[in-house]
Amino acid sequence: MQRALPGARQHLGAILSSASVVVKALCAAVLFLYLLSFAVDTGCLAVTPGYLFPPNFWIWTLATHGLMEQHVWDVAISLATVVVAGRLLEPLWGALELLIFFSVVNVSVGLLGAFAYLLTYMASFNLVYLFTVRIHGTLGFLGGVLVALKQTMGDCVVLRVPQVRVSVVPMLLLGLLLLLRLATLLQSPALASYGFGLISSWVYLRFYQRHSRGRGDMADHFAFATFFPEILQPVVGLLANLVHGLLVKVKICQKTVKRYDVGAPSSITISLPGTDPQDAERRRQLALKALNERLKRVEDQSVWPSMDDDEEEAGAKMDSPMPSDKAPTLPGKGAVPESSLITFEAAPPTL
């Protein structure tokens, strides 16, 4: 363990040295608040539902709860989440958009979690849900990062045996956290943070994130129903369409807009808002890689002769005349041995 720690620190230092200012600032904030928790009580930095709403208005907790951790393993998960987001999402979005995404997800998680526990208190009249529950940590942002990875690289394989793609990881982790909660190994605020992080990040990426071609991403592979197993997708899709239609009527969401470029030189092209050029280039690279692998497999198979070629070669040998071991004979005479240097002729008859 002692030998692995210096290598891990060196590897983390190399990653952070090439990271942007946003990633470095977020990692530094997580470490600073964790070290600060040993000196003072940092509970005022977490979202407490009873203090967030009037008459207290601890509004600042919406900005700080996503950076506050209380255990060293939680700090490691937070740092890894921020670093992964910086390595995979920041090159596609930019540092500013990554910061906006982090802020939107964490503020949404704080508000939705506080409202959920407020409703729970109204149903149970248990003050624990107002003044004891504390929402904090980066599990909400982890859910948002997984949703963003599903959008940008959902076809990538995480595990080969069994085969697990990035597109199913968000719901798999949600199921794992749910099992841990049922086994009382996980507190309810952590599960709530992750769940609300999934929902808020999908809503933002689906309808509100600005792209070079519009706002949001209305692609079919990023629909809400695609987060669920195929057997449930028709039912979930129907419910999601009903909710979306209601939100469109109250002008919270916009209708799906398609643009037709009739003046395209090759043919009519259809583009959806939110289709990023980098995303299209990524799909082209994946298709090219798959095509190269197929061609390589075909070339490897062509090296070995097929059974048809062996049968044709054997048939050609059977049809060709076999060489004779006997010496050539002259007409009406016996056999005459053949030689390239000496030739024999028949003697003249004696008188």
pLDDT digits (tens, 9 = 90+) for 285-342: 677 777 877 787 777 666 555 555 555 555 555 555 555 444 455 444 455 444 444 5
Q: What is the mean pLDDT of residues 263-283?
A: 52
Please tell me the distance from the alpha carbon of residue 62 to that of residue 66, in angstroms, as a whole number.
8
**Residue that has been written with the tokens 């949001």 in this structure:** 216
**Residue that has been written with the tokens 């002769």 in this structure:** 305
Q: What is the mean pLDDT of residues 73-101?
A: 94
pLDDT at 348: 56
Distances (CA, A) of 324 to 6, 321, 327, 328: 82, 9, 8, 9
Q: How confident is residue 275, by pLDDT bands cut at 50, 70 and 90?
A: very low
Pull the structure tokens for residue 294.
């197929």
Q: How confident is residue 271, by pLDDT bands cut at 50, 70 and 90?
A: very low
* Element (DSSP H or E) covering residue 269: strand 269-271
Distance of CA 295 to the CA centre of its chain: 25
Please tell me the distance from the alpha carbon of residue 140 to that of residue 138, in angstroms, as a whole number.
5
pLDDT higher than threshold 80 for residue 1: no
SS3 content of the chain, % helix, strand, coil (to 5): 60, 5, 35
Contact 50, 56 (CB under 8 A): yes
Spell out a b/e string for 2-13, using b for 16 or more CB atoms within 10 Å of the CB, else e. eeeeeeeeeeee
Q: What pTM value is reported for the model?
A: 0.72
pLDDT at 278: 54
Q: How confident is residue 250, by pLDDT bands cut at 50, 70 and 90?
A: confident
Contact 73, 144 (CB under 8 A): no
Nearest of 92, 105, 227 to residue 165 by alpha carbon = 227
pLDDT at 173: 95
Question: Which domains can be identified in the chain, with CATH numbers?
Answer: 9-222 (1.20.1540.10), 230-257 (no CATH)
For residue 306, give the DSSP letter: P
Average pLDDT, the chain: 81
Q: What is the mean pLDDT of residues 135-141?
A: 95
Query: pLDDT tens digits, residue range 5-25?
Result: 566 666 666 676 778 899 999
Please tell me the distance from the alpha carbon of residue 253 to that of residue 244, in angstroms, as a whole number.
7
For residue 206, give the DSSP letter: I
Please tell me the distance from the alpha carbon of residue 207 to that of residue 257, in angstroms, as a whole number.
11
Query: pLDDT tens digits, residue range 112-123?
Result: 999 999 999 999
Percent of the chain with pLDDT over 90: 51
